[in-house]
Amino acid sequence: MVTVAQPGGDFAALIGLLYARWTLDCLIEMGWAVSADFITRPQLYVSDDIPDAIVKLRMKYGSDPDFPNTTQRHAMLLPILSKSDGLKPDSSTASSQFYIARKKFIDACIAFSERAVDTGIPMLEERVRSALVTFRAHFDALHGKSVQLSNNQINAISETAISILKAPGAAKIFGVSPPDAGWPLDSNDPNGAKLVESIGSQLPLPQECKLGYTKFILLQRVAQEGRRTLPLVLSTDPNSEQKLLALISQAYTWGTSLREYQQTL
């Protein structure tokens, strides 16, 4: 029997959502770029539906707890989730506790799912259980106020940036229709990917945040599948065959989405 301490459901959901927002961190960079463009080209920003928070983002970026800048977000999230999966892996990711534990777990799930024949299944399952213990232990150590408050800050700036990007008056400036209300975390509306591509081609952004249509669709899938997988990682009873198989299936989907996106980097 494998016995592992399990964080509460709220914490598990928090980690899943935090991962998704961190993976899509380039949307915050885009929101910030649009907030600067708001005064650079005022003749374009005439619609009343553009959120007033666009001014707060521009004026308070990096100086307000709800608007951490790029350096501050990295400082908060690197110890928790390593470098964003939206960015190209480097030596820092390869040596991070999250990355190492995640890779061991995903590799075990892929090995189970892609086995050529139905032999050695108990050993493959045990490999998954062993990797799950290590992966879950990383988050067990993080369950506390620091992560909770960092999550609040990331949620605040992410929601602000996305609300700006989704405003019909803002989307129109970049020649596309606004994505629907659930985008980008709960919807795959193609207008969102079109908007991301258009902003990246028109505004000054870090090169890694200039995402084409297909590349963003692949990245969005990584964020969404990771958001579904991590709560299961933190809550699944590994001694339940049925629940373990469901976890393996979901983790396999996350792993393959990661593999597909990283091939574009």
Cα(199)–Cα(209) distance, integer angstroms: 10
Residue type, 197: E
**Residue 125 is encoded by which pair of tokens?**
């399952």
pLDDT of residue 92: 84
Cα(254)–Cα(248) distance, integer angstroms: 10
Q: For the chain, give the mean pLDDT.
A: 95
The CA distances from residue 203 to 3, 29, 52, 73, 106, in Å, are 51, 11, 20, 21, 36
Q: Where are the domains of the chain?
A: 9-262
Which pTM was predicted?
0.94
DSSP class per residue in 131-179: HHHHHHHHHHTT-SHHHHHHHHHHHHHHHHHHHHHH-HHHHHHTTSPPP
pLDDT tens-digit map of 25-36:
999 999 999 999
**Residue 109 is encoded by which pair of tokens?**
């799930």
Q: Provide the sign of the torsion angle of the four alpha carbons 82, 83, 88, 92, taken in this order.
A: negative
Cα(233)–Cα(12) distance, integer angstroms: 8
pLDDT tens-digit map of 214-224:
999 999 999 99
Task: Taking residues 181-197, report their average pLDDT.
Answer: 98
pLDDT tens-digit map of 232-260:
999 999 999 999 999 999 999 999 999 99
The CA distances from residue 243 to 126, 165, 247, 253, 257, in Å, are 14, 38, 6, 16, 21
Q: Comparing C-alpha atoms, which of 44, 86, 30 is closest to residue 218?
A: 86
pLDDT tens-digit map of 76-97:
999 999 999 999 999 888 899 9
